[in-house]
Structure 1
Amino acid sequence: MSRLTRWLNMHCKELNLDGMLKDEARSQMLSMGMSNESIEDYANTLKVKYDYLKHLDETDPEPWINYTAYDFFTEQEKQQFNVDGSLKPEYVKYVHSIGISAKSLAEMERRKKIEVDNYNQLSARYAEQGINFGEQQMQAIISNNKTYLQRRKQMEIDLRNFEDVDTLPFEPETRY
């Protein structure tokens, strides 16, 4: 997502897509007692910020990493499936040898292909709006991992402080 798109999303109730103050926002400010001069000053400040971010996006765009659904597969799924969600031939051969039915494999493949198609559709829809869906998903995963590590560290502190085991976020045996 570009800097400008993120900023416009934050100000979507008061700004048009060209960075100009919406008439409804202007009317609301007047009804709250703001003077025309204050409103114009505010509108000009927002327009200057809009122009700056637009220029920045044009001259120094943020990198757009094209994540695929495959980037979100687990390591096990990467061993089982191709990028398009189809099963890898070597995996099919292996699971046939241990007695998994062809019907079960077909269902696994069908579900994974639907998952990949859904990801691709969402990614395309978001890209039309200037939003990098894959990057949002990746940032959410990174954030969750950081939160987990912070909770684990806090749990170790709580154990040293003899906190009640019932208040811990994890079972003590699973913290390592």
Structure 2
Amino acid sequence: MPRIKRWINMHGQEFNTDGTLKPEARLQMLSEGMSNEAIDDYARRLKIKYDNWNHLDETDPEPWPVFTAYDFFTDEEKRQFNPDGSLRRDYIESARRSGTSESWLKEKERRKKLEVNSYNVLSAEYAEQGINFGKKQMEEKVASRLNYAQRSQQMEQDLANFEEQSSLPFDPNTRWR
């Protein structure tokens, strides 16, 4: 439940996983001069928030799209690799015919498997904190593409206005479309 996980991450040092104030947190607050009434009010307000988030998780769960490392492979990588990072059989055969060494193919596969494993570990660690790592990565990927497109469009306008080429974000002779 992502909302509750986020709540626990924010308040887990002071509150139990059921939303109640930990006794040691109460003692700490008392030692810092807070009154019992203020502590009770604080605990009650956060328990209400916990209960609201818990209710939302049960009645209206947040969408949790699942992205795998494979979703971030380029088209070329998808032609070369399986989702687990192993090389595709047809790619291996084609690479061997073109003279690619067996050791290079093994190294290429090893690196991609490490990349996939790293993605999986990060995704699991973030999920424990209530964060959808794959979704965040995909949002960043989409945003960077939009930014590139916007910069490219602006550059075309700048070229039409005879702007100095040194002020442009890209070399107009080498940019990709």
TM-score by length of 1: 0.75
Please say if 1:165 is aligned against 2:165: yes
Give the deviation of 1:48 after TM superposition: 4.9
Measured after TM superposition, the shift of residue 67 of structure 1 is: 1.1
Q: Which residue does 2:130 correspond to in 1?
A: 130
Whole-angstrom CA distance in 2 between matches of 1:126 and 1:57: 18
Q: Which residue of 2 aligns with 1:88?
A: 88
In the alignment, which residue of structure 2 is the partner of 1:145?
A: 145
Partner of 2:67: 67
Give the corresponding residue for 1:2: 2
How many Å apart are 1:46 and its aligned residue? 6.2
Alpha carbons of 1:19 and 1:160: their partners in 2 closer, same or farther (altered >3 Å)?
farther
Question: Cα–Cα, structure 1 residues 89 and 50, in superposed 2: closer, same or farther, change >3 Å?
Answer: same
Contact 1:79-1:91 within 8 A present in 2 as well: yes
> Residues 27-65 of structure 1: CA distance to partner in whole angstroms, max 9, x if unpaired?
9xx9xxxxxx99998987766555433322221111111
Q: CA deviation at 1:162?
A: 2.3
Moved more, 150-159 or 95-104: 150-159
Corresponding residue number in structure 2 for 1:100? 100
One-letter code aligned to 2:148:
Y
Q: Secondary structure at the match of 1:90?
A: helix
- TM-score scaled by length of structure 2: 0.74
AA in 1 matched with 2:134? G
Q: Residues 175 and 125 from structure 1, CA distance in 2 versus in 1: closer, same or farther, beyond 3 angstroms?
A: closer
- Mark the runs of 5 or more structure 1 residues left unpaired by the alignment: 31-36
Name the count of aligned residue pairs: 171
Q: For 2:98 and 2:110, how far apart are their aligned partners in 1?
A: 21
1:9-33 per-position Cα deviation (integer Å, ceiling 9, x unaligned): 7x66xx857778987xx89xx9xxx
Q: Could you tell me the percent identity over the aligned residues? A: 53
| RMSD after superposition | 3.3
* Aligned residue type for 1:156: E
Q: Which has the higher contact order (CA 8 A, sep 6+)?
A: 2
Inter-CA distance 165–38: structure 2 relative to 1 (3 Å threshold):
farther
Structure 2 unaligned spans of 5+: none
Give the secondary-structure state (helix, strand or coil) at the position aligned to 2:83. coil
**Residue 152 of structure 1 contacts residue 175 of structure 1 at CA under 8 Å; is this kept in 2?**
no
CA contact (8 A) 1:20 1:43 kept: yes
Q: How far apart in 1 are the matches of 2:102 and 2:125?
A: 34
